Chain A
Amino acid sequence: AQSVTQLGSHVSVSEGALVLLRCNYSSSVPPYLFWYVQYPNQGLQLLLKYTSAATLVKGINGFEAEFKKSETSFHLTKPSAHMSDAAEYFCAVSSDTGRRALTFGSGTRLQVQP
């Protein structure tokens, strides 16, 4: 069984500040990890994914995440927040067990204050 825990349902940062969204996973087999962003009333868009290549993954819009097996974490960061980053962020896990469906965390709403 797989699961994802996102610590902090709401995160608020000032414009220009560091963004850190936390994700911890549980998986009995090597995981694939994803971060998706959802803007209000829209679908989900992939920010980045880890597929067992480099542990530091760079994504769109200046986001990156680091896979740390020892900590079972895949935290999302951005050095400088922009107002347009305000959205809901979802961490998800999958693995080659045949299901191929994503198991999502509960999401973190990012607010960016001017």
Chain B
Amino acid sequence: DTAVSQTPKYLVTQMGNDKSIKCEQNLGHDTMYWYKQDSKKFLKIMFSYNNKELIINETVPNRFSPKSPDKAHLNLHINSLELGDSAVYFCASSQDRGARASETQYFGPGTRLLVL
């Protein structure tokens, strides 16, 4: 069973389109994250949710909007896609034992977004 899953795995789309990436975890974790990995492999946090509440919102264009319908899901919706949005987007989750940052984050397989 996949612990953290993402759909789709690959996404090719035109500039200006709106797209969504879905993430689900079956680990019973309370905290979920979105990271962006650029073409140089650099990873950066975008958002973090704890029990459906937004706790981190980095300097990300407001075209990106996370949505957490329940604590097992954290979806990423992107409006008006731009060429620079091309990247690999990783979802992750972790347990929330007293809000400790030492908890392991478990990553999904990534969604490779290519904007043409």
Interface residues of A, count at CB 8 A = 28
33-74 of chain B: CB within 8 A of chain A: 33, 35, 40-45, 48, 55-56
Instruction: Choose from A36, A100, A104 the contact partner of B101 (Cβ within 8 Å).
Output: A100
CA A32 to CA B101, docked complex, whole Å: 7
Interface residues of B, count at CB 8 A = 29
Chain A residues with CB under 8 Å of B102's CB are 32, 49, 51-52, 94, 96
B40 and A101 form a contact (CB under 8 A)? no
- Of all chain B residues, which has the CB nearest A52? B102
Chain A residues with CB under 8 Å of B110's CB are 41-43
Known pairs A94-B101, A100-B100 / 15 extra A-B pairs, C-beta < 8 Å:
A41-B110, A43-B4, A43-B107, A44-B43, A44-B92, A51-B102, A95-B101, A96-B99, A96-B100, A98-B99, A100-B101, A104-B44, A106-B40, A106-B41, A107-B42
Q: Would you call B104 an interface residue if the criterion is a C-beta within 8 Å of the partner chain's C-beta atoms?
A: yes
Q: Which of B102, B103, B107 has the most chain A CB atoms closer than 10 A to its own CB?
A: B102
> Do A90 and B99 form a contact, CB below 8 Å, given A101-B56, A102-B105?
no
Chain A residues with CB under 8 Å of B107's CB are 36, 43-45
51-89 of chain A: CB within 8 A of chain B: 51-52, 88
Chain A residues with CB under 8 Å of B33's CB are 101
Q: Would you call A46 an interface residue if the criterion is a C-beta within 8 Å of the partner chain's C-beta atoms?
A: yes
Chain A residues with CB under 8 Å of B104's CB are 34, 46, 49
B43 and A104 form a contact (CB under 8 A)? yes
Q: Would you call A28 an interface residue if the criterion is a C-beta within 8 Å of the partner chain's C-beta atoms?
A: no
Please, what's the 1-or-0 string for B88-104, where 1 marks a CB less than 8 Å from any CB in chain A? 00101010000111111
24-51 of chain A: CB within 8 A of chain B: 32, 34, 36, 38, 41-46, 49, 51
* Contacts A/B (CB < 8 Å), 17 sampled: A32-B102, A43-B109, A44-B92, A45-B107, A46-B104, A46-B105, A51-B102, A52-B102, A88-B41, A94-B101, A98-B55, A100-B48, A100-B55, A100-B99, A101-B33, A102-B43, A106-B41
- Of all chain A residues, which has the CB nearest B40? A106
